[in-house]
Amino acid sequence: MTNAYAVQEAASRSAVQIDAVFLFITVVSLFFFFLVEGLLIYFAIRYRRRKGSEGLATSEVKSNFLLEIVWVIIPSLVVIVFFVYGYMVYRDVTTPAPGSSDIHVIARQFFFEFKHPDGRSEVGELRVPVGKPVKLMMTSRDVIHGLFLPSFRLKQDILPGQYTYLYLQPDREGSYDIFCTEYCGVGHSTMRGKLVVLASGEYAKWAAAGKDAQAALPPSEKGKTLLAKFGCLGCHSTDGTAKVGPTLKGLYGSRVPLEDGRTVEADEGFLKESIVDPGAGIVKGFPNVMPTFKGQLSDDDIAAIIAHIKTLK
């Protein structure tokens, strides 16, 4: 289903349909562009003012009824065809397929959280089985975000306080980019995700394993998965580079200068405070943009995250 004329491969049937509309409009527009510009240049040369004829009057053409009818009717028909064809594909793309799995998408600064119907949730990655239609029900916890799936030719804004929807039919296995397409703050460029389309057997295996794998992990390993799951790594690196927020590498036990002039030691208390009440102590040089994770992370989860931060030396 790769289209030679499309920059991005088409991952679904609707993507192919959308490409076809786009190609059709482009080809028809190019035809009329060259027709009109060609005639313009031809007439300009054919009827140019020649030497010796400067004094002659222009012939007096008033109007040509037939010609005027033709150039009103033809373009009107062309744009009506654009509209009808485009509308048919638009209707197809925005009509939910029967039997789709409903996935809640919650956008926050600066990550996407995906909630499956059975209660499992993922951050940054959405796994779906191939061939089964998906309905995304999307809302934002803070500002306006967007969800863009270039390979599916689908894009929709995500708004706080209301739901917007996208329907997709993942026809091909593979991993596809998700981008945020509204400038939502300093971490906008890091707000990305992946749509992973799995063979149905593989998906069932993942769905079965995903449920209680976390409980069995040692705390620092669990903390590592939580950092990924809650999108922390979108803003905090673990390799020493500063992103939207300070790096977590070597953070534990270090002396941290704060915006309010204090210098504190990054002990358990400070790390916990920074997770549940991030505004209480902003590290010098960083913006106050982190959302609170109070109520989303249990005390056990926070302890696990701190245990993992301690290992990042």
Query: Shortest Cβ distance from residue 280 to ligand CUA (Å)?
Result: 25
23 vs 30: CA distance, rounded Å = 10
Residues 6+ away with beta carbon under 8 Å from 171: 1, 11, 12, 13, 130, 131
Q: Which stretch binds ligand CUA (CB under 6 A): 48-56, 129-137, 180-188, 270-278?
A: 180-188
Among 180, 226, 251, 266, binds ligand CUA (CB under 6 A): 180
Are residues 105 and 113 in contact, defined by beta-carbon separation less than 8 angstroms?
yes
Q: Which stretch binds ligand CUA (CB under 6 A): 92-100, 149-157, 175-183, 219-227?
A: 175-183
Among 10, 105, 134, 191, binds ligand CUA (CB under 6 A): 191
Query: Shortest Cβ distance from residue 304 to ligand CUA (Å)?
Result: 27
What DSSP line would sit under 110-170, residue for residue? TEEEEE-TTS-EEESEEEEETTS-EEEEEEESSS-EEEEEGGGTEEEEE-BTS-EEEEE--
Are residues 184 and 141 in contact, defined by beta-carbon separation less than 8 angstroms?
no
Tell which positions 229-258 bind ligand CUA, by CB under 6 A: none
Residue 122 vs 182, nearer CB to ligand CUA: 182
Among 15, 154, 184, 227, binds ligand CUA (CB under 6 A): 184
Residue 105 interacts with ligand CUA (CB under 6 A)?
A: no
Among 19, 113, 122, 182, binds ligand CUA (CB under 6 A): 182
Query: Shortest Cβ distance from residue 124 to ligand CUA (Å)?
Result: 12
63 vs 49: CA distance, rounded Å = 22
CA-CA-CA-CA torsion for 126, 130, 131, 134, nearest 10 degrees? Answer: -10
Are residues 302 and 269 in contact, defined by beta-carbon separation less than 8 angstroms?
no
Among 103, 123, 145, 196, binds ligand CUA (CB under 6 A): 145
Residue 47 vs 183, nearer CB to ligand CUA: 183
Residue 6 vs 180, nearer CB to ligand CUA: 180
Distances (CA, A) of 77 to 71, 72, 82: 10, 9, 9
283 three-class SS = strand
Are residues 306 and 227 in contact, defined by beta-carbon separation less than 8 angstroms?
no
158 vs 108: CA distance, rounded Å = 10
Q: Which stretch binds ligand CUA (CB under 6 A): 53-61, 65-73, 182-190, 206-214?
A: 182-190
Residue 188 interacts with ligand CUA (CB under 6 A)?
A: yes
Q: Which stretch binds ligand CUA (CB under 6 A): 49-57, 123-131, 184-192, 213-221?
A: 184-192
Q: Which stretch binds ligand CUA (CB under 6 A): 27-35, 43-51, 71-79, 176-184?
A: 176-184
Are residues 93 and 18 in contact, defined by beta-carbon separation less than 8 angstroms?
yes
Q: Which residues bind ligand CUA (CB under 6 A)?
A: 110, 145, 180, 182-184, 188, 191
